[in-house]
């Protein structure tokens, strides 16, 4: 697919959005880096904690912040069990899996979905895990999205993947409206360019990468200053990296974004070449 020349440098357009919402916290959510706060009880003795079935010793206990036990598991059930799977069980048990973001915290840190629980457990102790629940940020459908940028920002920082993807799509559509340079400035003022670059990097979550690259592409369709803002944050390296993506949508978006940047000015064109864009092409 041939890259568009400078005169066709433009955002990938999408229909305008509508919406607005309120965030109502129940616990602590990662709406921004370092937002977790929890007091965790570590290493409760297991000598009297015996599961009913087969006298299996209790190895893991998940509690709410008020101390109520949500789930208790024996050591055999920890084998091969990931944090993500346990999180799904906890979400179903508390009955709010689809309306809230569930985060599990142990040893003073949030647990990642891919982590296995068995290595975290210690002999003769119950692994105590705190469950934190927060209402997911929602947009109000009766208010224009440009007036809900703070909520959109919370969405792209959410730990819940689907909510993060939804937020990125809203940004992409908002910035894809023709002649929407003021909106680009407002998004840049949120300081989200590093987050967009982070979400567009790597090889996991191709759908999210595609949306994040599309957001950066639309920013690069704006003024010289707006394009320079993403270049200065290191977006060129990410675009070039994704020229080798196995996902065709991600690859196409990387080409489109580099075309927008190169079409901005001779200096930007040289920067694209210096970043090594021609070699993978």
pLDDT at 182 (0 to 100): 77
Beta bridge partners of 116: 82
Alpha helices in the chain (DSSP H): 83-93, 149-157, 161-175, 181-189, 193-200, 206-219, 224-232, 235-241, 248-262, 266-274
Residue position matching structure tokens 């909510």 = 163
pLDDT at 103 (0 to 100): 87
pLDDT in tens, 60-113: 999 999 999 999 999 899 999 999 999 889 988 887 655 677 889 998 999 998
Residue 198 CA to residue 266 CA, distance in Å, equals 27
Among candidate residues 184, 167, 186, 268, the one with its CA nearest the CA of residue 223: 184
pTM for the full predicted model? 0.65
pLDDT at 102 (0 to 100): 84
B/e letters for 14-29, b = 16+ CB within 10 Å, e = fewer, are: beebebbbeeeeebbb
Domains and CATH numbers, the chain: 6-21+138-274 (1.25.10.10), 25-135 (3.10.20.90)
Tokens found for residue 197:
């670059």
3-class state of residue 55 by DSSP:
helix
Residue position matching structure tokens 């934190």 = 132
């Amino acid at each position: 697919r041939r890259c568009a020349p400078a005169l066709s440098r433009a955002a990938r357009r999408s229909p305008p959005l509508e919406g607005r919402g309120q965030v109502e916290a129940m616990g602590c959510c990662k709406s921004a880096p370092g937002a977790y706060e929890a007091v965790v009880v570590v290493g409760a003795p297991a000598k009297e904690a015996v599961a009913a079935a087969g006298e299996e010793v209790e190895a893991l206990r998940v509690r709410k912040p008020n101390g109520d036990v949500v789930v208790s598991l024996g050591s055999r059930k920890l084998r091969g069990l990931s944090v993500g799977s346990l999180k799904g069980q906890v979400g179903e048990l508390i009955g709010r899996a689809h309306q809230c973001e569930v985060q599990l915290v142990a040893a003073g840190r949030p647990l990642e979905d891919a982590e296995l629980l068995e290595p975290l457990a210690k002999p003769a102790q119950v692994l105590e895990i705190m469950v934190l629940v927060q209402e997911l940020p929602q947009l109000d459908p009766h208010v224009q999205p440009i007036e809900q940028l703070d909520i959109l920002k919370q969405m792209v920082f959410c730990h819940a993947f689907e909510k993060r993807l939804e937020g990125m799509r809203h940004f992409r559509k908002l910035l894809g409206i023709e002649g929407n340079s003021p909106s680009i400035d407002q998004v840049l003022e949120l300081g989200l360019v590093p987050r967009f670059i982070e979400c567009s990097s790597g090889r996991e979550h191709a759908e999210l990468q595609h949306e994040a690259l599309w957001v950066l592409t639309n920013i690069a369709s704006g003024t010289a200053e707006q394009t320079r803002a993403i270049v200065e944050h290191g977006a060129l390296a990410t675009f070039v990296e994704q020229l080798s993506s196995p996902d065709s949508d991600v690859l196409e978006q990387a080409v489109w974004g580099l075309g927008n940047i190169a079409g901005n000015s001779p200096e930007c064109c040289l920067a694209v070449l210096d970043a090594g864009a021609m070699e993978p092409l």
